[in-house]
């Protein structure tokens, strides 16, 4: 039986390949504007979150992106990790890829704005 650590390493490799392509594909003008304005941010669970008040349009944008992400996590999970492990590992990488000024959810559940320093990530991130 594989341990969580071994599966996390499997998921890490697959998720790293996923996140760069996903992040680039999701940078449409509405997504980029919401990200730049601090209305959305990356979460440790691998999904996009709404920071503050949600409009129907913003909620629709985030739901659409999260559906696409879950589909990618699900298809990649066949490589030996669970959907949750793929999502978590992708969340670690997506938070790491945030640019200064963008939002992310810290391990303590607080929305942070990325500075030039590395973001605060879950200690299980590899």
pLDDT tens figures, 64-111 = 999 999 999 998 887 678 999 999 999 999 999 999 999 999 999 999
What confidence score (pLDDT) does residue 109 get? 96
Q: Report pLDDT for 61.
A: 95
Residue 124 lies in a domain: no
CB atoms within 10 A of CB 83: 17
Got the DSSP string for 61-120?
A: HHHHHHHHHHHHHHHHHTTTS-HHHHHHHHHHHHHHTPPTT-EEE-TTS-EEE--SSPPP
Mean pLDDT, the chain, integer: 84
Please write the tens of the pLDDT for every residue from 3-15: 445 444 444 455 4
- Whether 59 shows a pLDDT value over 90: the answer reads yes
Secondary structure (3-state) at 45: coil
Question: Which whole number is the average pLDDT over 23-30?
Answer: 65
In a domain, 15, yes or no: yes
Task: Find the domain containing 56 and state its range.
Answer: 4-113
1 pLDDT exceeds 80? no
Residue 35 located in a structural domain = yes
In a domain, 77, yes or no: yes
Q: Does residue 101 lie in a domain region?
A: yes
Number of domains forming the structure of the chain: 1
């Amino acid at each position: 039986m594989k341990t969580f650590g071994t599966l996390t390493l499997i998921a890490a490799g697959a998720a790293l390949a996923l996140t760069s392509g996903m992040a680039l594909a999701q940078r449409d003008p509405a997504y980029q504007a919401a990200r730049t304005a601090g209305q959305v941010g990356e979460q440790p669970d691998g999904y996009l979150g709404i920071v503050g008040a949600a409009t129907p349009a913003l909620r629709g944008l985030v739901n659409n992106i999260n559906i696409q992400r879950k589909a990618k996590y699900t298809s990649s999970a066949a490589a030996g990790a669970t959907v949750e492990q793929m999502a978590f590992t992708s969340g670690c990488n997506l938070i790491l890829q945030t640019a200064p000024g963008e939002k992310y959810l810290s391990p303590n559940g607080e929305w942070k704005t990325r500075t030039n320093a590395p973001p605060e990530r879950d200690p299980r991130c590899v």
